[in-house]
């Protein structure tokens, strides 16, 4: 597995937080059960998993 510096992880976390925020705002405007809605649910979940893993990695430093 590739290792990243704490600074790289912090920068990635900031970017992912921003993307998650934008996705959550867009999500509110989507029609329920549409393909776009389903895709956004999956995208938001993936971003949350990514952020959680970054947080865990930062705690190991």
pLDDT at 40: 98
pLDDT tens sequence across 1-60: 689 999 999 999 999 999 999 999 999 999 999 999 999 999 999 999 999 999 999 999
In a domain, 50, yes or no: yes
pLDDT at 26: 97
pLDDT at 61: 87
Task: State which residues form the domain around 36.
Answer: 6-59
In a domain, 1, yes or no: no
pTM for the model: 0.90
In a domain, 29, yes or no: yes
8: Cβ contacts below 8 Å, ≥ 6 apart: none
6: Cβ contacts below 8 Å, ≥ 6 apart: 58, 61
pLDDT at 1: 64
In a domain, 32, yes or no: yes
In a domain, 52, yes or no: yes
Looking at the structure of the chain, the number of domains it has is 1
């Amino acid at each position: 597995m590739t290792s990243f510096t704490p600074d790289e992880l912090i920068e990635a976390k900031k970017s992912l937080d921003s993307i998650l925020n934008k996705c959550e705002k867009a999500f509110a405007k989507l029609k329920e059960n549409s393909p776009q809605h389903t895709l956004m649910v999956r995208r938001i979940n993936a971003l949350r998993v990514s952020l959680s893993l970054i947080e865990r990695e930062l705690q190991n430093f």
